[in-house]
Chain A
Amino acid sequence: MCLGIPGRIVDIRGDRGLPMGTVDFGGVRRDVCLAYVADEVSVGDYVVVHVGFAISRVDEEEANRTYEMLREMSLLEGELGAAP
């Protein structure tokens, strides 16, 4: 039930005072409540969405930095592992 999917904000609007937006999940678009992240996101940002609510902004800089570290480590491990 705690499933959360990262998606990209396509537009931001208000619905009777509630910040809402359209979020794109690899081609599938859904209405999402942005109330909890409204102060820190704009169109184009990624958010983690759970039951129709953005619960967290995706920190793209951190994501890219840590993923690159993981990749480099796995390449290095691969080379070391292949050595006789």
Chain B
Amino acid sequence: MKYLNEYRDPAVARGLVRQILDTATRRWVLMEVCGGQTHTIVKQGLDEILAPAVEMIHGPGCPVCVTSLEQIDKALNLAARPEVLFTSFGDMLRVPGSECDLQQVRARGGDVRVVYSPLDALELAIRHPERQVVFFAVGFETTAPANAMAVWRARELGVPNFSVLVSHVTVPPAMIAILDAPDNRVQGFLAAGHVCSVMGWTEYEPIAARYKVPIVVTGFEPVDILEGIALAVRQLEEGRHEVENQYVRAVRRAGTPPAKDLVFQVFELADRKWRGVGTIPRSGLVLRPEFADFDAELRFGLGSMEVEEPAECHAGEVLRGTLKPLECPAFGTICTPERPLGAPMVSSEGACAAYYNYGRHRAATAAES
């Protein structure tokens, strides 16, 4: 497909690999923020081929992984109610809650349906006025415009049986939390391209300046990621720390203003708990008071829930980048895609899933024996 296949060109990729290896005079530590980028990096072995020049640390950019256990348990509670038709992106179905996951609720008779777009969930509500249709509105800034539009349209079209369980997070506060951590090793970032397609990159300029880290807005194909790394390494070698845009075909400095505008008409910033990481100030989006009628937590009187993470799950350290999946004692033993302890093992953007699915586990075992 156009604007996709050419960014998988092996000849261009080889040229960039050579350039990165030639430029680096030492080994730099970079973090790719987005889990989609993690999967490309691990699948293509980019971290291994670039190992002499950069260490890639995998970031927290997996919305499925960072959705708090409490929100997952609320979803499970709602999905089990007979009057509820619960809708979600497919990624959320296998995320472990305290006792089970959405797929198991469905197996026990809960009406849980996967939708491609939040507008499909709204359409279900219009078609089933006798049911309470709840949509699990998770995601980063990339997904926020779609979820905001579903709520906006529900009000505009007057759909009283539609509501959303919101668990939205935003990227810049998480980057600041990583940089503020006393054990931080990250020297530069690849920022998430599609988050910036919506939001632009002005929010990153003060972060780059204050923490003296290069931040390169980067796409998702192998050539994109290699070019992003090449730009970050060049900045580090030259002692620069700027925001640079690799993903020029899809990102403008101001982002996509109409999308940003609607997001902040429907949502407002609030503190948000990240699974395994803890509460990050002003890192979440919640419905504005004028859209409270569409808040599933209020509609169904959910309140707060007591939850406890399994002690043997190290997902939080993996999400903060302080532990690689292979360093987790549970990885591949008591935590597998079939029986996950934490969300990073089952999400299509989870770092543990990337390592497991692309055979890093088998490679490590073979090397030991």
- A and B, one complex? yes
Beyond the given A52-B146, A56-B251, A77-B19, please list 17 additional residue pairs across the A-B interface where CB-CB is below 8 A: A1-B64, A1-B91, A1-B348, A2-B61, A2-B139, A3-B194, A4-B197, A26-B2, A37-B258, A48-B197, A50-B146, A50-B194, A52-B116, A53-B146, A55-B194, A70-B15, A74-B12
Known: A18-B153, A51-B143, A56-B250. A74 touches B197 (CB 8 A): no
A67 touches B89 (CB 8 A): no
Residue among A2, A3, A36, A58 making CB contact with B195, cutoff 8 Å: A2
Which residues on A sit within 8 Å (CB–CB) of B1? 5-7, 25-26
Known: A33-B149, A74-B12. A63 touches B3 (CB 8 A): yes
Task: Return the CB mask of B1-26 against A: 1 if under 8 Å, else 0.
Answer: 11110110101101110110000000
Total number of residue pairs linking A and B with CB closer than 8 Å: 153
Cα distance A36–B143 when bound, in Å? 13
B149 touches A1 (CB 8 A): no
List 10 interface pairs A-B (beta carbons < 8 Å), by A numbering. A1-B349, A5-B4, A6-B4, A17-B156, A37-B256, A55-B145, A55-B197, A56-B194, A66-B249, A74-B15
Which residues on B sit within 8 Å (CB–CB) of A55? 142, 145, 194, 197-198, 256, 259
**B positions within 8 Å CB-CB of A:** 1-4, 6-7, 9, 11-12, 14-16, 18-19, 34-36, 61-64, 89, 91, 116-120, 138-140, 142-143, 145-146, 149, 153, 156-157, 192-195, 197-198, 220, 223, 227, 248-252, 255-256, 258-259, 262, 347-349
Cα distance A63–B252 when bound, in Å? 12
A59 touches B249 (CB 8 A): yes
Cα distance A26–B270 when bound, in Å? 40
Which residues on A sit within 8 Å (CB–CB) of B193? 4
Cα distance A73–B349 when bound, in Å? 31
- Nearest CB to that of B62 among chain A residues? A1
